[in-house]
Amino acid sequence: MNGLGLYFDVAHLLAGGLVLVSFMMLYQFRMYALLNFYAVHALVLSASVAWQALIQGAPHLYVTAGIALVFKALIIPVALHRIVQRLGIHRTIETVVGIGPTMLAGMGLVALSIGVMLPVTGSADILAREDLAFALAVILLGLLMMVSRHNAVSQVVGFMSLENGLVLAATGAKGMPLVVEISVAFSVLIAFIVIGIFLFRIRERFDTVDVQALDSFRGERR
């Protein structure tokens, strides 16, 4: 079982690395740093998916890994860099609560996801179950990032890290039909286009991409 042990350890290392990078994204103050960490996030995801492709003997997963590498780790961060530059929002990121409480909440979420997933997935194969626990942690951390930031670009980054967690889960589930992996990658593309349009429009009309500024105006007072 020596070989399986190695497979196992590397898969864990990569999935755990993804959770770690998610944490690192939580405490970034600067927009550029956040985008760089998102690129690292996508890179680790790509490695993790490629490793799954190798050990599952599923060559189609290499496509997913390639999409993660080229599209998520290169094109999107570069494009976002340029948007941030053009909009002049590269200064600090506004957070709703302090970094300390956010990190504590993040730790709680990771504990929660491991506590929930491991007992429940007892019957599933051991590789998949730990992957799923890590994936859930990444998803929850992405959600946390979305709610703890005001700025539209960092919310989008949070959403994309959430999508990375979904890809991790989908590739961990052995033999899942290709339909899903492509759809996830594709949805990121569409989502990105939508977001691009949004950012553009918001910039066109107002001088901020701060979601809180949008919140200050409503159709009605509550």
Partner 1 sequence: MSHEELGLWLVRAVLLVPALSACLLALIPGYRLSARLNMLASLATLAAAAALFRVRPTPGAFLIVDDVNVVFIVLNTFVGFTTSVFSASYIAHELEVGRLTPVSLRFYHAMYQALMAAMNLALVANNVGLMWVAVEIATLTTVLMVGIYRTHAALEAAWKYFILGSVGIGLALFGTIIVYMASRSVVGEGLDAMAWTVLVRHAPAFDPALLNLAFVFLLLGYGTKVGLAPLHAWLPDAHAEGPTPISAVLSGLLLNVALFALLRFRMVMAGNAEALAPGPLMVTMGLSSLLFAGFMLYRRHDIKRLFAYSSIEHMGIITFAFGMGGPLANFAGLLHMTMHSLTKSAIFFAVGHVAQAKGTQRLSEIRGLTVSHPVLGWALLLGVFAIAGMPPLGVFMSEFLVVSSTFARQPLLAIPLVAGLLLAFGALLWQAVGIAFGEPQGESRPVHASTVPLWAHLALVLMAGVYVPGPIVRWFQHVAALLG
Chain residues binding partner 1 by CB under 8 A are 116-117, 119-124, 128, 132, 135-136, 139, 143, 146, 152, 155, 159, 162-163, 166, 169-170, 173-177, 179-180, 183-184, 187, 190-191, 194-195, 197-198, 201-202, 205-206, 211, 214-215, 217-222
Instruction: Characterize 149-173 residue by residue with b for buried, 16 or more Cβ atoms within 10 angstroms of its Cβ, and e for exposed.
Output: bbbbbbbbbbbbbbbbbbbbbbbbe
Please give the structure tokens belonging to residue 127: 């590789």
Q: Work out how close the CB of 119 gets to partner 1 at its nearest, in angstroms, rounded to a whole number.
A: 8
Nearer to partner 1, 6 or 79 (CB): 79
Q: Which is nearer to partner 1, 100 or 222 (CB)?
A: 222
Closest to partner 1 by CB, 33 or 180:
180
Q: How far is the CB of 219 from partner 1 (least distance, A)?
A: 5
Cβ-in-10-Å burial (0-12, 13-18, 19+) of 105 comes to middle
The answer for residues whose C-beta is within 8 angstroms of residue 158's C-beta and 6 or more apart is 25, 142, 143, 144, 145, 146, 149
Q: Are 161 and 145 in contact (CB under 8 A)?
A: yes
H or E segment and range at residue 24:
helix 2-26
Residues 122/128, Cβ–Cβ less than 8 Å: no
Q: Give me the least distance between CB of 165 and partner 1, in Å please.
A: 8
Residue 9: CB minimum distance to partner 1, A:
22
The least distance separating partner 1 from the CB of residue 2, rounded to whole angstroms, comes to: 26
Q: Which is nearer to partner 1, 100 or 217 (CB)?
A: 217
**Hey, what are 43's tokens?**
């890179």
CA-closest candidate to residue 90, choices 99, 98, 81, 100: 81
Nearer to partner 1, 36 or 55 (CB): 55
Q: Which residue has the tokens 């990105």?
A: 192
**CB 123 to partner 1: min, Å:** 5
